[in-house]
């Protein structure tokens, strides 16, 4: 089977699939998608505007507010020739008690794909179970797979590959941490996650990532020592200490996470050419200092830009 035939075969495998977590794809499908994201970015920079989704519509359901998710999906579907419909949860009959199953069935008769940014992962699973069009997880309490697609694309751009790369995630064992664990395992990238005690990633997700890593050669480490995590790291990654829905815990978390701030001192334990990543929005002076996030080795805006290209590839593959 030649490369072109093989790519067409993988594309056909992806068509119509849901994307609720990174592990919904196999390694071959994930790499194909990231290669397509690179192509999308190259074409955009060259002013080439192909429109594989002309005439198609993406419904975008938001229970949580957003900057990058909304704008990247809305811009992305437009650049691909389609249209995006912003659907605040309160604008739908969901706000008045209509079931997710009924909503999914109705939306499936109008549109070609659904992106949902929800509080609970169970809500997204329920929507996907009853929809007849691809459902994309724009963020839940458990996973943030679209963010990590862009992260994987960015790391390969900067480091050339994922093999022999060590990623250190410092802070909360949250949805981003979960998706990074799976994404790193699938691409063969080593990952060390440093959290305070009691804030570790979900044990079942860690176990699943470890099973994948055993096949790809990735190394997974969990620690409560941020210095140990960043030792010889190629990439240092952090996130806010209190995610949306955890605002009441902000003050308590600031005390617990104080020793997990990414600052110049912590970065000295990493490789000299280590880069800094953050999924944004960032709270300068809390999880990261300004001199790090605004420094020469910060790639947070390259990372944010790649949300557009990775999601264009995702929509093209699933809806095209």
Alpha-carbon distance values, 153 to 139, 156, 290, 303 (Å): 18, 5, 25, 8
Catalytic member of 79, 121, 141, 147: 147
C-alpha torsion sign, points 296, 299, 302, 305: negative
Find the catalytic residue in 79, 234, 279, 286: 279
Active site residue 117: yes
Question: At how many degrees (to 10) do helices 68-79 and 300-319 cross?
Answer: 50
Is 253 part of any known ligand binding site? no
The annotation status of 280 as a binding-site residue, yes or no, is: yes
Say if residue 297 carries a ligand binding annotation: no
Residue 309 falls in the annotated catalytic set: no
Q: Long-range contact list for 209-213, CB < 8 A, 24+ apart?
A: 209/181, 209/182, 209/184, 209/185, 210/185, 212/23, 212/182, 212/185, 212/186, 213/184, 213/185
Q: Is 147 a catalytic residue?
A: yes
Let me know: does 53 contact 315? Beta carbons within 8 Å: yes
**96 known ligand binder:** no
SS3 135: strand
Which of 121, 144, 169, 278 is labelled catalytic?
A: 144
Q: What sign for the dihedral angle of Cα 147, 179, 166, 314?
A: negative
CB 100 within 8 A of CB 127: yes
Indicate if the alpha-carbon torsion angle 297, 218, 16, 141 is positive or negative.
negative
Residue 244 assigned ligand-binding role: yes
Q: Is 181 within 8 Å of 191 (Cβ atoms)?
A: yes
Query: Is 146 annotated among the ligand-binding residues?
Result: yes
Is 267 catalytic? The answer is no
Write down the catalytic residue from 239, 253, 286, 309: 239
Binding residue per annotation — 309? no
Catalytic residue among 121, 178, 307, 309: 307
Q: Would you say 70 is a known binding-site residue?
A: no
Distance separating alpha carbons of residues 144 and 117, to the nearest angstrom: 9
Does 219 show up as a binding residue in the annotation?
Answer: no
Is 281 assigned to a binding site? no
The angle at the Cα of 236, spanning 234 to 239, to the nearest 5 degrees, equals 160
Cα–Cα dist 42/254, whole Å: 41
Please answer whether residues 314 and 306 qualify as being in contact, where contact means their C-beta atoms are separated by less than 8 angstroms: no
Say whether 307 is catalytic: yes
Cα distance between residue 71 and residue 67, in whole Å: 6
Q: Annotated binding residue at 69? A: yes
Q: Which of 79, 112, 117, 156 is catalytic?
A: 117
Q: Which residues are annotated as a binding site for carbamoyl phosphate?
A: 66-69, 93, 117, 144-147, 279-280, 307
Binding region: 66-69, 93, 117, 144-147, 175, 239, 243-244, 279-280, 307
Question: Which residues does the annotation mark as catalytic?
Answer: 117, 144, 147, 239, 279, 307
Q: Which residues belong to the annotated binding site for L-ornithine? A: 175, 239, 243-244
């Amino acid at each position: 089977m030649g490369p072109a035939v093989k790519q067409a075969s993988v594309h056909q495998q992806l068509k119509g699939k849901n994307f609720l977590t990174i592990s919904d794809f196999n390694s071959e499908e994930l790499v194909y998608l990231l290669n397509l994201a690179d192509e999308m970015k190259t074409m955009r920079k060259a002013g080439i505007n192909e429109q594989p989704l002309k005439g198609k519509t993406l419904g975008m359901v938001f229970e949580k507010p957003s900057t990058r998710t909304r704008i990247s999906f809305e811009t992305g579907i437009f650049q691909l020739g389609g249209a995006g419909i912003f659907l605040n949860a309160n604008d739908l009959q969901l706000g008045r008690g209509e079931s997710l199953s009924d909503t999914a069935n109705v939306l499936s008769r109008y549109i070609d794909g659904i992106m949902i940014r929800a509080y609970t992962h169970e809500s997204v699973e329920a929507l996907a179970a009853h929809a007849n069009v691809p459902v994309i997880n724009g963020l839940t309490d458990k996973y943030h797979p679209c963010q990590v697609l862009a992260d994987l694309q960015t790391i390969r751009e900067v480091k050339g590959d994922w093999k022999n790369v060590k990623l250190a995630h410092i802070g909360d064992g949250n949805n981003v941490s979960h998706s990074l664990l799976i994404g790193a395992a699938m691409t063969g990238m080593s990952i060390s996650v440093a959290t305070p005690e009691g804030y570790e990633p979900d044990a079942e997700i860690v176990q699943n990532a470890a099973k994948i890593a055993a096949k790809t050669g990735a190394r997974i480490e969990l620690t409560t020592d941020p210095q140990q995590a960043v030792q010889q790291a190629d990439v240092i990654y952090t996130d806010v200490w209190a995610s949306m829905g955890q605002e009441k815990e902000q003050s308590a978390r600031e005390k617990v996470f104080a020793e997990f701030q990414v600052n110049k001192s912590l970065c000295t334990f990493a490789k000299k050419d280590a880069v800094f990543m953050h999924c944004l929005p960032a709270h300068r002076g809390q999880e990261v200092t300004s001199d790090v996030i605004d420094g020469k080795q910060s790639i947070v805006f390259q990372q944010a830009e790649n949300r557009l290209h990775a999601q264009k590839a995702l929509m093209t593959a699933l809806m095209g």
